[in-house]
């Protein structure tokens, strides 16, 4: 079994994927325990000196001016129970695992002041594959407290959790896994909840899937380039140097490399192709830049202390912060959603070009028999419906919030909803890519003597392994579904 080692730095999206989907275990390096102990001592010293510390000896939100004394462990349980107000379907187990792993990575940075024993209990719960039932709604992106309360409740033996494929009361799930509920020390409850771990954990998985689908989208576009008889001169390096937009030169070079050896370079091609083909380098370049920016935002969060209050170990102080606020993360995922939509709509446009009139030298509707044959044209409706659904989800949501907690929390980022809708867009995009691949492979087959480039021929072969050439009308939706199902595999990586 692979073990991912937390060090408090350098934690990556790939580590989240390995822990959430790959069966990896988590361990903490010795220096993490040392950082946690130092931070805890600073926190306890500040509290003993009479410093007001939010969530330790004060209430939360609108109750921040309410002092707390007495049974601090009971107060932490109260904080957890009092925020477990999420609703909706429970997040899938792989997302829950990503959420827990993300919170552990943030805690390992050392700014929370969490008790080392509580940190270790959370890691043990992840490794034992006890998965709290976290509801899908409850965060507005100003820390994911309401959703993470479900994680904290399971750790103290309350609420419900999945273990071994069955739903149990959390205390029973822990017992079946050989674990015991934890007793929260002062601030531990808040340390578990007050972070953007849901946004970041689910965001990491969405980025990993988007990276794979972008590979597939590049290949679908290259296959369409062959099928439509595109002009490869638009991809030449001098053209890209004339307007060095983000990612454009790199995407043009990647497309050109895939087309190398194609008979497109030996035949008469169109003077100007449709924009969905002619502008593919700039469309994909913008998508590449947006994807890289979102990846960077996620990995910054994974390796940062997002707590409030924050223990600054080197300075030896405890301060209130706004580090839990995920404005940059939300904005970058909104941008990524728009970039995905732009790329997907270009894919849909190429599908319409392929399956419409015969002006590209292809048979009408990509039907080799003609006459009353529908060929591919009914699938234009499916593609248009997918594009409309995807375009709808691309609409920004990060500005949709209301002030809460008596106006104390008067700004929010909606990062959880932004990430969730971005992840939902990926499924629509995946199906659009499959439709383009299916049509483009048919177009190549209907160009007698055409030779695909060295990077495109394997894509055509991939499609044909799953769907034969259309020689008479048949239910093409089944073929597209078979292709879509494989696009998140490694078949098209490279």
pLDDT at 142: 80
Helix segments in 228-326, DSSP class H: 237-242, 248-259, 275-278, 280-302
Average pLDDT value over all residues in the chain: 91
Question: Rounded CA gap, 176 and 310, in Å?
Answer: 35
- Is the confidence at residue 491, as pLDDT, over 70? no
Q: What is the mean pLDDT of residues 104-112?
A: 94
In a domain, 491, yes or no: no
Which pLDDT belongs to residue 64? Answer: 58
Among the listed residues 124, 188, 109, 115, the one whose alpha carbon sits nearest the alpha carbon of residue 152: 188
Per the domain annotation, does 179 fall within a domain? yes
Assign residue 262 the CATH number of its domain: 1.20.200.10
Question: Which residues lie closer than 8 Å to 38 by C-beta, 6 or more apart?
Answer: 110, 313
Cis upstream peptide for 309 (omega within 30°): yes
State the chain's maximal CA–CA distance in angstroms. 88
Q: How far apart are the C-alpha atoms of 28 and 11, rounded to whole Å?
A: 12
- Same-domain pairing of 120 and 232: no
pLDDT of residue 407: 65
pLDDT, mean of residues 330-344:
97
Do residues 17 and 145 share a domain? yes
Strand 317-319, strand 166-169: pairing: unpaired
Residue carrying the six token digits 């924050």: 310
Same domain, 134 and 26: yes
DSSP summary character for residue 109: T
In whole angstroms, give the CA distance from residue 139 to residue 300. Answer: 20
pLDDT tens track for 211-230: 999 999 999 999 999 999 99
Q: Which residue has the higher pLDDT, 169 or 51?
A: 169
Same domain, 146 and 212: no
Q: Does the pLDDT of residue 346 top 80, yes or no?
A: yes
* Distance in angstroms (rounded) separating the CA atoms of residues 151 and 350: 45
DSSP assigned state of 70: S
Kindly state the average pLDDT of the residues 12-23: 96
Contact 208, 13 (CB under 8 A): yes
Residue, of 68 and 433, whose pLDDT is higher? 433
Considering the domain architecture, whether residues 354 and 470 belong to the same structural domain is answered as yes
Q: What is the mean pLDDT of residues 85-89?
A: 92
Bridge partners of residue 318, in order along the sequence: 311
Query: How does pLDDT run across 201-210, given as a tens digit for each residue?
Result: 999 999 999 9
Statement: residue 494 has pLDDT above 60:
no
Same structural domain, 141 and 224:
no
pLDDT 10s digits, 167-203: 999 999 999 999 999 999 888 988 999 889 999 999 9
8 found inside a domain: yes
**Are both 266 and 141 inside the same structural domain?**
no
Q: Which residues contact 193 (CB under 8 A, 6 or more apart)?
A: 79, 80, 83, 143, 144, 145, 148, 149, 151, 152
Q: Do 456 and 259 meet the contact criterion of CB atoms below 8 Å apart?
A: yes
Both 300 and 437 in a single domain? yes
pLDDT at 335: 97
Contact at 8 Å (CB) between 144 and 195? Answer: yes
Q: Are 423 and 206 in contact (CB under 8 A)?
A: yes
Q: Are 322 and 411 in contact (CB under 8 A)?
A: no
Residue 492, domain member (yes or no): no
Question: Is there a single domain that holds both residue 237 and residue 154?
Answer: no
- Per the domain annotation, does 478 fall within a domain? yes
Which CATH number goes with the domain that contains 88? 1.10.275.10
Percent of the chain at pLDDT > 70 equals 94
- Could you read off the pLDDT of 127-140 as tens digits, one per residue? 999 999 999 998 88
Q: Which residues pair with 317 in a beta bridge?
A: 312
Taking CA atoms, 319 is separated from 75, 111, 224, 309, 398, in Å, by 21, 10, 56, 5, 27
Give yes or no for a contact between 391 and 383, defined as CB atoms under 8 angstroms apart. Answer: no
Residue 27 included in any domain? yes
Indicate if the pLDDT at residue 492 is higher than 80.
Answer: no
Query: How many whole angstroms separate alpha carbon 167 and alpha carbon 82?
Result: 23
| pLDDT tens figures, 236-292 | 999 999 999 999 999 999 999 999 999 999 987 777 889 999 999 999 999 999 999
Q: Report how many domains make up the chain.
A: 2
| Residues 165 and 242 occupy one common structural domain | no
- How many CA atoms, within 13 angstroms, populate the side-chain half-sphere of residue 191? 32
Whether residue 255 is found in the same domain as residue 184:
no
Write down which residue in 195, 213, 232 finishes a domain. 195
What DSSP string describes 6-31?
Answer: E-SS---HHHHHHHHTS--EEEE-HH
Same domain, 149 and 171: yes
Task: Tell me the per-residue pLDDT of 69-81, one tens digit each, with 9 for 90 and over.
Answer: 667 678 888 888 8
The CA dihedral of 69, 74, 79, 85, to the nearest 10 degrees, is -150
Of 195, 225, 240, the position where a domain reaches its end is 195
Does the model's pTM come out above 0.75?
yes
Which of the listed residues 195, 228, 256 is the one where a domain comes to its end?
Answer: 195
Domain contains 494: no
Confidence category of residue 65, pLDDT binned at 50, 70, 90: low
pLDDT at 61: 62
- The answer to whether 153 and 170 have CB atoms below 8 angstroms apart is yes
- For the segment 404-426, the average pLDDT, to the nearest whole number, is 85
Q: Which domain holds residue 420?
A: 203-486
Question: 324 lies in a domain?
Answer: yes
């Amino acid at each position: 079994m692979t073990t991912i080692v937390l060090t408090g730095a350098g934690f990556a999206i790939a580590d989240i994927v390995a822990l959430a989907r790959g069966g990896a275990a988590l361990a903490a390096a010795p220096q993490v325990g040392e950082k946690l102990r130092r931070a805890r001592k600073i926190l306890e010293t500040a509290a003993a000196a009479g410093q007001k510390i939010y969530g330790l000896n004060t209430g939360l939100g609108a109750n921040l001016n309410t002092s707390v004394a007495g049974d601090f462990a009971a107060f932490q349980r109260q904080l957890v129970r009092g925020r477990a107000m999420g609703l909706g379907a429970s997040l899938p187990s792989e997302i829950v695992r990503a959420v827990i792993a993300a919170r552990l990575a943030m805690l390992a940075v050392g700014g929370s002041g969490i008790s080392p024993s509580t940190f270790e209990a959370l890691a043990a719960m992840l490794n034992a594959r006890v998965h709290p039932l976290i509801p899908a709604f409850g965060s507005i992106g100003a820390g994911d407290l309401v959703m993470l309360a479900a994680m904290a409740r399971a750790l103290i033996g309350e609420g419900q959790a999945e273990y071994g494929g069955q739903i149990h009361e959390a205390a029973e799930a822990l017992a079946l896994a050989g674990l015991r509920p934890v007793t929260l020390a002062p601030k531990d409850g808040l340390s578990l909840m007050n972070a953007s771990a849901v946004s970041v954990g689910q965001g990491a998985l969405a980025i990993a899937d988007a990276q794979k689908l972008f590979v597939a989208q590049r290949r679908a576009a290259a296959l369409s380039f062959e099928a439509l008889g595109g002009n490869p001169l638009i991809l030449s390096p001098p053209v890209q140097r004339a307007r060095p937009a983000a990612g454009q030169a790199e995407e043009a070079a990647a497309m050109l490399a895939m087309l190398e050896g194609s008979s497109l370079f030996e035949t008469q091609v169109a003077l100007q192709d449709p924009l969905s083909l002619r502008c593919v380098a700039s469309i994909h370049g913008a998508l590449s830049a947006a994807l890289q920016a979102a990846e960077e935002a996620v990995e910054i969060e994974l390796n940062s202390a997002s707590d409030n209050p924050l223990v600054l170990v080197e300075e030896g102080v405890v301060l209130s912060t706004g580090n839990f606020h995920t404005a940059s993360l939300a904005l970058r995922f909104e941008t990524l959603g728009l970039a995905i939509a732009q790329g997907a709509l270009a894919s849909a446009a190429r599908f319409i070009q392929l399956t419409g009139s015969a002006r590209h030298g292809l048979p009408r509707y990509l039907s080799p028999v003609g006459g009353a044959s529908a060929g591919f044209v009914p699938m234009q409706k499916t593609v248009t419906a997918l594009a409309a659904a995807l375009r709808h989800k691309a609409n920004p949501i990060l500005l949709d919030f209301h002030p809460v907690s008596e106006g104390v929390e008067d700004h929010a980022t909606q990062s959880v909803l932004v990430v969730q809708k971005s992840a939902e867009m990926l499924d629509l995009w995946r199906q659009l890519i499959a439709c383009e691949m299916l049509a483009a492979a048919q177009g190549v087959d209907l160009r007698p003597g055409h030779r695909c480039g060295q990077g495109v021929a394997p894509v055509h072969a991939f499609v044909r392994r799953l769907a034969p050439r259309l020689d008479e009308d048949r239910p093409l939706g089944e073929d597209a579904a078979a292709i879509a199902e494989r696009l998140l595999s490694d078949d098209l990586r490279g």
